Amino acid sequence: MALARSHALRDWASAQREECEAMNRQKISAFAPDDEARFWSKVDKRSPSECWLWLAALTPGGYGRFSLRGTLLTASRVAYKLSHGAVPDELDVLHSCDVRACCNPAHLRVGTAADNARDREGRNRHQHPGRPKAWRKLAPDTVRLIRSQAQLYSTREHARRHNLSYDAMRKVLNFITYKEVV
Ligand SMILES: [Zn+2]
């Protein structure tokens, strides 16, 4: 009996993880002004420092769920896109506040799945910092994102966020690598 329950729990947990991963990979496009107004009407907007909670449906994992012409989208990812611009496909939208239903753009940032895991680990007391990579292939959108945020973070912080060595990130930022990406 206990065994059956633990199997059921595991199935539920993996279904939840797959759902979140699928939602995180989705492309968000074709947002009409009406859609945008409808989206923000479901967000409890507060001061910039507070969490802005999603007032409509949640995923089993606790993320806000927004339906756009039949496609289910993750609310925090939509909030990020509407406020800060596109999210590169390979990156996740992460919550600095650790509140999954939060849609306050000031609490959202993009990062790699590795960042996400590290954040989660950090919150769960142990840290297993992955060895930063001297070379890791970056998608052109990611390179553009990094360069567009060049003034926002230090080279060291950019490197940490993308799991690259300091030197590799310095080369990305200075157009020594990815010269062809403009
Ligand atoms: Zn928040």
The pLDDT tens digits of the residues spanning 137-173 come to: 888 888 888 888 787 778 888 887 777 888 999 999 9
For residue 92, tell me if it sits in a domain: yes
Q: How remote is the CA of residue 107 from the centroid of ligand 1, in Å?
A: 5
- Considering the domain architecture, whether residues 117 and 44 belong to the same structural domain is answered as yes
Radius of gyration of the chain measured on its C-alpha atoms: 18
Residues 115 and 158 in one domain: no
- Indicate the pLDDT class of residue 45, thresholds 50, 70 and 90: very high
pLDDT of residue 15: 58
Q: Look at residue 3 and tell me if it is in a domain.
A: no
- Cα 19 to ligand 1 centroid, rounded to whole Å: 21
For ligand 1, the distance from its centroid to the CA atom of residue 105, given in whole angstroms, is 8
Q: How far does residue 159's CA lie from ligand 1's centre (Å)?
A: 25
CATH at residue 116: 3.90.75.20
**Which string of b and e fits 13-46 if b means at least 16 CB within 10 Å?**
eeeeeebbeebbebebeeeeeeeeeebeebbeee
Is the pLDDT at 134 greater than 60? The verdict is yes
Q: Is 129 exposed, middle or buried (0-12, 13-18, 19+ CB in 10 A)?
A: exposed
Last residue of a domain, one of 129, 152, 169: 129
- At 76 the pLDDT is 95
CB 101 within 8 A of CB 62: yes
Helices (H), 27-69: 33-41
Residues 51 and 114 both lie in one domain = yes
Query: CA angle 10-125-87, nearest 5°?
Result: 70
What spacing in Å lies between the alpha carbon of 79 and ligand 1's midpoint? 12
Instruction: Kindly state whether residues 121 and 159 are assigned to the same domain.
Output: no
